[in-house]
Amino acid sequence: MAFALGAHFSPPICKVGNISHAHADDAAYVRRAADLSEKSAGFTSPHPNFGCVIATSSGKVAGEGYLYAQGTKPAEVLAVEAGGERCRGATAYLNLEPGDCHGDHTAVSALVQAGITRAVVGIRHPLQHLRGKAVCALRSQGLQVDVLGEDLQSKVIEEARKSCLLVNAPLILRACSRVPFSVLKYAMTLDGKIAASSGHASWISSKMSRSRVFELRGRSDAVIVGGNTVRKDNPRLTARDGGGHMPMRIVLSQTLNLPKEANLWDVSDASTIVVTQRGARRNFQKFLASKGVEVVEFDILNPRDVMEYFHDRGYLSILWECGGTLAASAISSRVIHKVFAFVAPKIIGGKNAPTPVGELGMVEMSQALDLIDICYEQVGPDMLISGFLQPVPDLMPVIPSEDETFAIDPTVTPYESSVISFYKTWDPYGAFSNFSPHPIQMPDGDGNYVTWSSVEHYYQAQKFIGVNDPAAQDCVEKIKAVRSPEEAARIGRSMQRQYPDLVWSSVFLKGISNWLLYFDYMDIIGITKSVILLSTADKDLLYYFVYFLFFGSYKKKKKMDHLGGPCMQLMNEVRHNSSPHSY
C-alpha cells in the first residue's frame, strides 16, 4: 500500500550497495513495528500506536511487542521480555519515539538495561513535551539512535517512514485540524445508491464487508449517525465482531424528532450521547436522561462545533456512518479526513433513491474533491475504496498539551502559571491520571495489600467491593482480570448502568480519598515516589475531566477539585516529611 504524503517529501536515494541493503533491512523491521502497532488501534486511544521489534546482529528477530492499550506495558518492555538475553548487542526498531507520561522512562530504561546498542526510530513523538526526549535519553546512555528521514535517507527508508506516519495518522491529523480524526464510511450499490427509493437498505454490502465495519468501529472512539438513520435503520452501532473495545454512540439531531423505542437508548453495553439544538423537545431530553443517555445542547448545531467539542473531551478518532445530508454537511465543514466506501456489485436504480453524499454546492466536475493515497481492496464480492480527503502532514505538528485539557470552567485557565492541569495520560503530568500505566498496591478489608493493574482497575472495583451480591463479586473479579484500564472502566460502568442498586451509595465519598493514596505505593522506573509530586510544589493541581463536571469543577477558593485537591494535600505531606536527600 503506497501513500504519497506530499510532493515536497523527497530525501536523496542512496545508491551504494551495502548501504542500500542495510537500509532495506532497517526499513523492513520498522515497517514490521508499524504493522504490529496497528493491532491495538482503538484500545490505545488517546495515545499513539507503539510497536517494537528487536533484531540481533545476524538479522534474526529476538523479540517484539506492541502497546495493547493505554495503561498497559509499553511495547519496548514486552519486546525486551520476549527477547531476554538475545537483546544484548541487538537493535531495537520502533515505529515511534518512546513516550507516555512526563517523567516516566519505563520504555527507555527497558532498552538500556536489556543491553540494546542501537535504536532505529520511525518518527519522533508528535507531542511537544515528549518530542525528542527519548531520542536524547537513549543517546545519552551510549546507544546509537537513527531517526528515519534524518539520520537515514533513501527510497526504502522514505516508504517505511510513510508507514509510520500512516499508522498514527489519527493523532497527527487531529493535532493539525483541532478536531478528532474523522472517517466517513458508507456502503453503496454500483449505481451509487445507499438505499432503495423506499428507504430499505438491508443489506447492500456482504457479510464480510459488514465484519470490516465492526472492525472500523472497534478502532474508533465514537460512531456518529444522524436522526434519519435512527428513525429508518434503528442501528445498534456496536463493534460486535471487533473485539473488546466498544465505541461511544453519538446521534446528531437538530429537532430531536426521534423515536422513543430505539436500540441506541439501551446503554447496557455501550453509552450514547445525543447532540441537539438548545431547547429542543425538553420532555424528550428528560426521557433520554431517564434511560441513561447523555444530551448535549448547542446554540447552533453544525459538525465543526460538535467536533471541536469532542476534541476537547479527548476523542481521538470518530467514525461517521450517517446519511447523505449529514455527510455533505460534515465534508463542507472540513471535519472529514478519510473515506471508506464499500461498493457492492448491485444495481437498484430509483430516481429518488438516496446517495452517500448530499448537496455540496458544486456545479462543475473540476470542483470535485479528489481522494489522496487511494487504496482498492476486494472484500468478498464487494470493492472497498479508501483514501484521504486531507493529506497526512509530513512534518510532525507542535501540540500545545495545555489545549488538550482546556475546556469548560471559565473561572480558571490551564495557562495560568500557578495551575498544573491534567486529564489524559498524554498530558505533561499525566502520571497522575487513573489510566496511567502503573500497578498500585492498596489495602483490603483485612489489612493485606492487593495489587491492581492501574488506578482505574482499583477505582471501578471499589464500586462493588463490599456489596453482598454474587453479581457484584463476579464483576470485581472480571475487573481484576482484564489487561487495560479501558476494559476495567467498560466493565465497571456497564455493571453500574445495569444494576445501579449494587453500587455503594457512598462510593464517591469512600473511594476518592483512597484513590489518591496510590502515590504512596507507586513504583515507576526512573523516578522515585516523591519526585513527581514534589515537582508540583507551589502549584495548584487541576483535574480537568471534561466528562464528569463534578470531578473537573475547580473553584480556587473552595478547593472543589476532588482529585487535584488530594494530590496537593499529599504533595505537601511528602514535602514536609522529606529530607533533601530522601529522593
What amino acid positions are annotated as catalytic residues? Answer: 76
> What is the secondary structure of 439-459 as a DSSP string?
-EEEE-TTS-EEEESSHHHHH
**Residue pointed to by grid coordinates 540494546:** 116
> End-to-end CA distance of the chain, in Å?
50
Task: Supply φ then ψ for residue 211, to 5 degrees.
Answer: -65, -35
Contacts 24+ apart (CB under 8 A), 499-506: 499/471, 499/472, 502/464, 502/467, 502/469, 502/471, 502/472, 502/475, 503/463, 503/464, 503/467, 504/462, 504/463, 504/464, 504/465, 504/466, 504/467
**Residue pointed to by grid coordinates 541493503:** 21
Of 173, 185, 245, 258, nearest to 486 by C-alpha is: 245
Cα gap 187→185, rounded to integer Å? 7
Residue 80: count of CB within 10 angstroms of its CB: 27
Task: Supply φ then ψ for residue 439, to 5 degrees.
Answer: -60, 150
Of 49, 22, 11, 57, nearest to 33 by C-alpha is: 49
Enter the DSSP assignment of 127.
Answer: B
Helices (H) and strands (E) in the chain, counts: 19, 18
Residue 395, C-alpha cell as written in the block: 512534518
Contacts 24+ apart (CB under 8 A), 292-300: 292/267, 292/497, 293/264, 293/265, 293/267
Task: Supply φ then ψ for residue 224, to 5 degrees.
Answer: -110, 135
Cα gap 547→116, rounded to integer Å? 42
Cα 147 versus chain centre, distance? 25
